[in-house]
Amino acid sequence: MANEKRSIIGGKLVRIKIKENATNSRLDKDVEKYFRPSKLPIINTKEFHYEFYQDVAEKNELPEYLFKTPEDTIINYFSILREASNYEEGKKAGCGSIGDTRAPYPIAYKFLTESYQNRERYTKYLQSFKNILHINLLKLKRVESDKEHPEAIKYFVEFETIEGSEKDATYFAYYYGYLYVTKTDEKYLIDDMIFYGENYLCAPYHGWSFFGESVVDIEYGYWCNLVQKRMPSEEKGYIKKVPFKGTDGNMYMIEFIKLTNDTDFKIGEYEKAENGIWEPIIINPEECLKKKKLKDSK
C-alpha cells in the first residue's frame, strides 16, 4: 500500500498509493476546506527556556516529568521541537537566525528508546529535520495497537511544519501518521514513528477513498459484502464514526480522523459486542477485494 520514501523529524516518511476510481463530486461544495491550512490551536505549547537547556547540559539527563505518561512524552517531544530549525543551504526563510536553531535536536533525540536510537543514528535523525523550521502539533489521539508493534502504545498525530523554499517565501506543509510509545525504566519513550505527507490536490479531484462514507460503501459493502445498511455518520471535532448493520446481523463501526486537507483517514474498525461495547477488530478489505477479483475471474 505504501512505499518508503525518506524520513522526517526522525520518523519514516512513506508514500500512500492513491485509490483513484472516480471523480469526486464534492468539489462544488465548500471548496475552500480542501485547499486551506489548519485553523486548529496547537497542542505542543509547553515552554522550555534557556534555564532548561542549561540544566540539561549540566546534568546530562532529562527530568522525569517529561515522560510521566505517553501523552506527556509526545506533547513534550513536539514542544521541544516546536522552535527548532535546521536551515538548508539555498532555501530562503526567515530574517536571520530562526527560533532555537539546532539546540533542541540532541534533547529530542533522548525521547527515543535505545532500540530506536540504534536504528536511527543521530546524524540521520538530524538530517531528517533538514529545511524544517517550525513544527506545530495539531492532532493527537490514542488508537488500537497493530501487529507490527503489538506491545507499543500507538498514537495518531498530525502536525504542521514551516519550510523554506528556493523562492523568496516560506510555506506550510502537513504530515500525519503514528507514534509508538513503550515504557522503559518508568519512562514512556518513543520506539517508532511513521508519517505520511498530505496532498492538497487529491481529495477534491480524485476518487472515493478520501471520504469515509464512500470507503464504507465500497470497501466494506462492495468488496466484502458486509454492509446491509449504513447508519448516519457521527462527527465530533475531527473524529468521524461511520456505523453500519452487517449482512451477518452484527453492528460495525469504522472510525476516521479528518485531516487538514479534509481527507477521512481510517484509524479503526469495531464490532459491537453483546454488552454494547465497541470491540476492535481487523477486517482487511484489501483481502476481500483480492478474493472478489479471483471469484469474478472464474
Per-residue pLDDT tens digits for 91-137: 777 666 677 788 899 999 999 999 999 999 999 999 999 999 999 99
Nearest to 11 by CA among 136, 147, 98, 119: 119
Q: Is 259 buried (19+), middle (13-18) or exposed (0-12) by CB count in 10 A? A: buried
Res. 223 pLDDT band, cuts 50 70 90: very high
| 67 pLDDT higher than 90 | yes
- pLDDT of res. 282: 95
Domains of the chain: 2-197 (3.10.450), 212-297 (3.10.450)
Residue 76 CA from chain centroid, whole number: 17
Give the per-residue pLDDT at 25: 47
Residue 208 clears pLDDT 80, i.e. is over it: yes
Q: What pLDDT does residue 26 have? A: 47
The confidence score (pLDDT) of residue 203 equals 63
Structure-block grid coordinates of residue 252: 460495525
Q: Across the chain, what does the average pLDDT equal?
A: 88
Query: Which stretches within 155-266 are classed as H helix?
Result: 212-215
* pLDDT for the residue numbered 247: 98
